Structure 1
């Protein structure tokens, strides 16, 4: 049995993108909190608080990216890629808690008879401005480094923020269009209802982030969109050397991709040099994947080893 390690694309792009996200987060967080306090809108305050918490989490992601870039050390011979799913899961838990608190507070406001009326025009202007900003940052992060779990989590946060801003925008526009017909009474419930709708739309994002943490830290199988390219390349190597389909296991932790491929061969026909050739070709085939691939490949004459 042998192990081969190859490095994927280096992570500086990840850190540059996280720094850009951190700056944008600080600007929008200040805007949201300030605008929400001035307008007396809980929905805008939720958006600002969500963004403010995101700023802290972005700083945590940036620190984790720097630590992971250091690579293996004597104390951590396999690196510290486990920080990536851990940080992603922490982000999910914090954001889920934020949504839960906001939903409970909005429910209390509704049961108390609604909130003071908020200018729909002010809310619409805020929603449009922040939605455009969040969508722009989301698009940038998606393109910066598709293989980065930290940037994926960051992009999910911005997408959630964009949804929240769009909810504020749509609700405010409806209030402007229907305000004269409905009268002042229903408008007292506009703000808390928008908060509840936003929370319902946001909840799936942190749930997925928590699930990602659990699967990776428990060494679960990688997602099919990650496994299939590996399967295709390993099968191609098997055909090239006249081997059958291997027993293949693929796991992912952060940027690190563990690939274990075991081929059953006939006794007496293969030696260690042959196994080395298969391993080198497999490593070459996997080299274009955007991950840090740790390959473990074995040729064996014992089928029971694959069980």
Structure 2
């Protein structure tokens, strides 16, 4: 990663951390004042996001450091490790919120000042959209796994805020109608629906990160690109070339290729370099740092 990209990544993560702190404090204070389970969850989620963003910021600094005696293959593995931690923590938060919503439904619901909650929700939605859009734009420009995960967090927070605000509007309308007695169930029902919907986001973060940690095969699109590059390298070579292994680890793509020489052939250094260059050119458009190893197979 170049120095400028690393700086932009750190700057974006710092902005995310400060924004998460602001939303966390506001959500917790307003949620406790109006006794809303959903708003307290929103604030708690922002607080967890803050801690996780600080973790991502520390990881970004650590990953950008050069290889050393302790990490001879670099620090790319720390990116999926951090994303896995983030996914697991968010999954725990969503799981607890699901439990709290069910408990509130079974105990008669929760009465909430819908007018104050709605006003807070509108402000919260606008703020979340602004931060999410900024981080998502930076993520597309820099192709950073950490910023992708950060954008996912803010997307989740934005959609949560939209759902909460819409729910409070409905709750306020209920209080003005013959359904006023059921308005106390609006808050836990919103929390229940939101938890069930959003649980897939941390699950996807966790599973994709674990795939990288355990060096499992990357996405089908990447595998097809690699297969085509190896086929092209085989056409340009007198030896048989075979893909031995491939894994995406953080922002790095590891590709291992075997060359099988004929009994009469002697593989020269330029043959190995030609194979590596052909694969490198075919994969150059991928937004990943390539690590290509060409091995002589017996």
Query: TM over 0.5, yes or no?
Result: yes
Q: Does 2:274 match 1:280?
A: no
Q: Which segments of 5 or more consecutive residues in structure 2 lack a partner in the other structure?
A: none
Q: Any idea what SS the aligned residue of 1:143 has?
A: helix
- The whole-number CA distance in structure 1 between the counterparts of 2:230 and 2:6 is 26
Q: Is the CA contact (8 Å cut-off) linking 1:8 and 1:292 kept in structure 2? A: no
Q: Does 2:73 match 1:78?
A: yes
The CA deviation at 1:100 is: 1.7
Q: Is the CA contact (8 Å cut-off) linking 1:123 and 1:169 kept in structure 2? A: yes
State which drifts further: 13-22 or 126-135: 126-135
The CA deviation at 1:269 is: 4.9
What do you get for the CA RMSD once the two structures are aligned? 2.4
- The whole-number CA distance in structure 2 between the counterparts of 1:261 and 1:173 is 59
Partner residue of 1:292? Answer: 289
Q: Does 2:147 match 1:151?
A: yes
Q: Is the CA contact (8 Å cut-off) linking 2:136 and 2:148 kept in structure 1? A: yes
The CA deviation at 1:43 is: 0.7
Q: Does 2:13 match 1:18?
A: yes
- The aligned runs of 1:38-117 (5 Å cut-off) are 38-116=33-111
Q: Pick from 193, 216, 220 the counterpart of residue 220 of structure 1.
A: 216
Partner residue of 1:190? Answer: 186
- The aligned runs of 1:181-260 (5 Å cut-off) are 181-241=177-237, 246-247=242-243, 249-260=245-256
Partner residue of 2:118? Answer: 124
- The whole-number CA distance in structure 1 between the counterparts of 2:9 and 2:263 is 47
TM-score under structure 2 normalisation? Answer: 0.88
Q: Which segments of 5 or more consecutive residues in structure 1 lack a partner in the other structure?
A: 1-6, 303-307
- The whole-number CA distance in structure 1 between the counterparts of 2:217 and 2:98 is 34
Q: Is the CA contact (8 Å cut-off) linking 1:259 and 1:293 kept in structure 2? A: yes
Distance 1:84 1:182, change over 3 A: farther
- The whole-number CA distance in structure 2 between the counterparts of 1:248 and 1:141 is 37
Q: Any idea what SS the aligned residue of 1:295 has?
A: strand
The CA deviation at 1:250 is: 1.8
Distance 1:171 1:228, change over 3 A: same
Q: Does 2:175 match 1:179?
A: yes
Distance 1:265 1:122, change over 3 A: farther
- The whole-number CA distance in structure 2 between the counterparts of 1:120 and 1:242 is 74
1:78-125 deviation digits (Å, cap 9, x = unpaired): 112221111111111111111122222222222221112x23232222
Q: Any idea what SS the aligned residue of 1:144 has?
A: helix
Q: Any idea what SS the aligned residue of 1:72 has?
A: coil
TM-score under structure 1 normalisation? Answer: 0.86
- The whole-number CA distance in structure 2 between the counterparts of 1:243 and 1:47 is 60
The CA deviation at 1:218 is: 1.2
Q: Which has the higher contact order (CA 8 A, sep 6+)?
A: 1
Number of aligned residue pairs: 294
The CA deviation at 1:39 is: 2.1
